[in-house]
Structure 1
Amino acid sequence: MRNRDLRRSSTCPAPDLALVLSALALGVLVLVTFVSTTLATSGRYFSTVQDGADGGVLRTIASPFPGAHYTVPIWVSLLPLVVSAVLVLRLILRRRPSDDPQDILLRRRSSTSVLGAVVLACALTLVPVAGLMVMRLASAPGQGTGLALALAGPGALVGLLALPAGLAMVVFPEVVARRSGAADGPVPEIAVRGHGPAAAQGTR
């Protein structure tokens, strides 16, 4: 039997843009929900204490607020989504590599759709959570609300921008896949040693 070199693609099937968008959306969602959980009282409302005009203490309560009663179910529901996305991406990556441009494009399209679902799910969750934080914090000014508002505002903006981005990744994955392929340049290759008839067939 003769040894033959099989040319295999070593590229990651997931476009860099899709990876960055999904990581950004997921990271912002986790950060916003974590902050809202730490700010909430009894897991469901936000309260502030201020000095009253008569020298007394004025307590302001804003409810509902995205505390643990809301964020824990969000985290629990996100876990199977992320795990499923990782497993599907792993399955796409473990497919028999090929230098065929059409095969590479197909794998990039598939991975873009998977990551787009993650972006879309995070955006659909981030917009109401961050938006509710902004509404409640703005209506109950007090100590410690400024920093939270500085986070919730951009978080809501990220969610709004991620909505069309995630939708485009799911509906039009080829656009992102082709742009990524053009930016990546030539597909790097590695030589994999094969044996026997199977190797001979792989070179045909």
Structure 2
Amino acid sequence: MMTNLFSNFDPSTSLMLPINWMSMWMFMLVIPSTFWLIKTRPYIIMNNISKKLNQEFSMISNNSKSTLIFISMFMLITTNNFMGLFPYIFTSTAHMCVTLSIAMPMWMGINIFGWTKKTNHMFEHLVPMGTPPILMPFMVCIETISSLIRPCTLAIRLAANMIAGHLLLTLLGNTGSMINELLLMTMLSVQMMLLILESAVAIIQSYVFSVLTTLYFSEIN
């Protein structure tokens, strides 16, 4: 039921193939091979963004060797968020099966690494420093539940923020045939501002997702 939460925004074609899911890898066909070989302006911009993200993620996780996976995750989510801003393209990151597929493996990998390599530190993390002895059993339960719901909160936060703005744009657009010209121009202006806001949200949400995952990794590092 959870994976079908946004199924009404996910139509399929008559060929029994959900073509809209192709937007997740379609950008790879658009980028020419020379992008990776010649230092063009887009390449330089991408390289500078990667270096800046590497500095921030290294500072958060205290480990410069593990930032590549977080940078790749940021690029993947950002690209899919922007692809959803184009007409007739479904935003894959607005579907729970996609966000959970990103959040769950990251969370499981971090916890498996922590419990196998740094078991004592993981047990220590269940009881924050300075906790009174009488509250220790309750803190263990609270910290355990907080750790278990982390992938769900990451997935729901990303999906909800992606679908909210798109749904508002759709609702405004459906009223275009029922209003006069003055209100139509006003609605178009509001939609343009919302589209700019959605472009900012596409970057912010992918950054928040990556930073939170990096923070979870820094707890065991």
TM-score tier after normalising by the smaller chain length: 0.3 to 0.5
More strand by share: 1
TM-score by length of 1: 0.33
More helix by share: 2
